[in-house]
C-alpha cells in the first residue's frame, strides 16, 4: 500500500469514475484499476463496485475513503507548512468563496494582509455555493473557505465572523420605499426575486418565511446577491437579501434597503478542515479579514482603499453587518506567523 494508491482510491471515490481519475493523473484507466486492486489484495476486501455509470465504494470502501481522505488532507497541509517554513515566511494561502465575497467582505483585509505579508501569495477559487466551498476544503484544494455558516459538517470547523441582517431591497419609487422597517408577514405581497437555488441563504430564508406562514410570489431568480439587488433597483421586483457590507457606498439613488428585524440574521465566516493544522500565513489571513470587518460598524472597506485606517459610519446601526466578535482564541493563538 502506497500513498499514491490511497490518493488514486480517494480520487475514484470522489469522482465515481476510473476514467476521470486516469485523465486527471495522466495515466491509463488500467493503471488506476491496478492501484485499487492492490489495496483490495492487501486488505482482503472489495473496495469498489461497478454501477450502471461509473463505480461507488462498498461499505469497506467508505470506511477507507473517510479515513484516507482525512489523513491525506492532513499530510498535504503538513507538507505545505514545511515548505512555507523552508521559504522563510512566504508560501501560498488558498481561499475558496463566492463570486462577490472578496468585494464585500475582504477588500480591506486583503490590502492589510498584503502590507504585512508581502511575500505570501493569495489564490482565490470561486465557487457558486457553500457546499462547493466545503467540497474544495474536503479535497484539500483550499486552506480557507468563506461561507454562510451552516449546521455542523463532519471534518470541518466553522467559525462565525459577522452577522448579516435581512433587508428588503426596493426601487426608490416603490410604495414600500418610505418604510423604516417591514415585518415578515408583509412579504407575502411582494414580487419576490428569489436567491440562488442551492444557496444556504435561500434555504434559511425559505425556512424563516415558511415558519411565519409567508410565501411571496416569485417573479424571477438570480445567481447571486448582487444581481438580486440590481434587479430590485431596476424595478423588476423586490429582493429579500442579507445586508452586505459596503452596499451603502454604492450611491444608488434609485434603491432603498428596508430592515426586516423579524428575520434572524444570517451568519457568515470561515470554514477550515482543522484550525490547528493551518499554516501561520493562512491563520494570519483569516484573522486579518476578521479584524478588518470588526473595525467598522458596517464592515466595509476604507474610504481610501490604500489607507489601512478604518473610521466608523452610522450604516451599521441601520442595515449593516453586525459583528459576531473576533475569531475564537484557537485562531489567534496561531495567527502571528
Asked whether the CA dihedral 307, 312, 315, 321 is positive or negative, the reply is positive
Q: What is the largest CA-CA distance in the chain?
A: 72
Q: State the SS3 of 112-175.
A: HHHHHCCCCEEEEEECCCHHHHHHHHHCCCCCEEEEECCCCCCCCEEEEEEEECEEEEEECCCC
Residue 125 near residue 96, CB atoms below 8 Å: yes
Torsions phi, psi for 191 (to 5 deg): -95, 100
pLDDT digits (tens, 9 = 90+) for 301-335: 333 333 332 222 222 223 344 544 444 333 333 22
Task: Compute the radius of gyration of the chain from its Cα atoms.
Answer: 23
CA distance 282 to 334: 9
CA distance 206 to 201: 9
Give the pairing type, strands 144-148 and 266-272. Answer: antiparallel
pLDDT digits (tens, 9 = 90+) for 70-125: 777 777 767 766 766 665 556 889 999 987 788 889 999 999 999 999 989 999 99
CA distance 231 to 241: 12
CA distance 267 to 269: 7
Taking residue 78's Cβ as centre, other Cβ atoms within 10 Å add up to 12
Residue-level pLDDT, tens digit, the chain, 337 residues:
788 888 888 888 888 888 888 887 888 888 888 888 888 888 898 888 888 888 888 888 888 888 887 777 777 767 766 766 665 556 889 999 987 788 889 999 999 999 999 989 999 999 878 888 988 888 788 999 999 998 888 778 999 999 999 999 999 999 999 999 999 999 999 999 998 877 888 889 999 999 888 888 887 888 888 899 999 999 999 999 999 876 654 457 789 999 999 999 999 999 998 898 888 889 999 999 999 988 754 433 333 333 332 222 222 223 344 544 444 333 333 222 2
The grid coordinates of residue 298 equal 458596517
The grid coordinates of residue 161 equal 465572523
Taking residue 65's Cβ as centre, other Cβ atoms within 10 Å add up to 20
Amino acid at each position: 500500500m502506497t500513498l499514491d494508491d490511497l490518493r488514486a482510491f480517494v480520487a475514484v471515490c470522489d469522482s465515481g469514475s476510473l476514467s476521470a481519475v486516469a485523465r486527471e493523473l495522466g495515466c491509463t484507466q488500467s493503471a488506476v484499476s491496478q492501484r485499487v486492486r492492490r489495496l483490495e489484495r492487501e486488505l482482503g476486501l472489495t473496495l469498489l463496485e461497478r454501477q450502471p455509470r461509473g463505480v461507488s465504494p462498498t461499505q469497506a470502501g467508505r470506511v477507507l475513503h473517510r479515513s484516507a481522505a482525512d489523513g491525506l488532507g492532513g499530510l498535504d497541509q503538513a507538507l505545505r507548512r514545511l515548505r512555507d517554513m523552508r521559504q522563510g515566511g512566504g508560501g501560498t494561502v488558498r481561499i475558496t468563496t463566492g463570486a462577490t465575497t472578496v468585494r464585500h467582505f475582504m477588500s480591506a483585509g486583503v490590502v492589510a494582509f498584503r502590507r504585512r505579508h508581502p511575500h505570501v501569495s493569495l489564490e482565490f477559487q470561486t465557487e457558486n455555493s457553500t457546499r462547493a466551498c466545503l467540497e474544495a476544503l474536503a479535497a484539500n484544494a483550499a486552506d480557507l473557505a468563506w461561507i454562510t455558516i451552516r449546521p455542523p459538517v463532519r471534518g470541518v470547523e466553522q467559525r462565525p465572523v459577522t452577522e448579516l441582517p435581512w433587508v428588503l431591497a426596493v426601487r426608490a419609487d416603490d410604495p414600500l420605499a418610505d418604510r423604516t422597517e417591514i415585518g415578515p408577514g408583509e412579504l407575502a405581497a411582494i414580487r419576490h426575486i428569489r436567491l440562488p437555488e442551492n444557496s444556504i441563504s435561500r434555504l434559511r430564508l425559505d425556512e424563516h418565511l415558511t415558519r411565519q406562514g409567508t410565501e411571496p410570489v416569485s417573479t424571477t431568480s438570480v445567481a447571486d446577491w448582487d444581481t438580486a439587488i440590481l434587479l430590485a433597483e431596476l424595478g423588476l421586483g423586490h429582493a429579500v437579501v442579507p445586508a452586505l457590507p459596503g452596499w451603502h457606498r454604492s450611491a444608488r439613488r434609485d434603491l432603498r434597503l428596508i430592515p426586516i428585524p423579524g428575520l434572524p440574521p444570517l451568519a457568515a465566516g470561515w470554514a477550515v478542515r482543522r484550525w490547528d493544522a493551518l499554516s501561520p500565513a493562512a491563520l494570519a489571513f483569516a484573522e486579518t479579514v476578521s479584524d478588518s470587518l470588526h473595525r467598522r460598524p458596517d464592515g466595509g472597506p476604507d474610504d481610501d482603499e490604500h489607507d489601512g485606517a478604518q473610521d466608523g459610519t452610522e450604516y451599521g446601526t441601520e442595515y449593516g453587518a453586525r459583528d459576531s466578535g473576533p475569531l475564537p482564541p484557537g485562531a489567534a493563538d496561531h495567527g502571528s506567523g
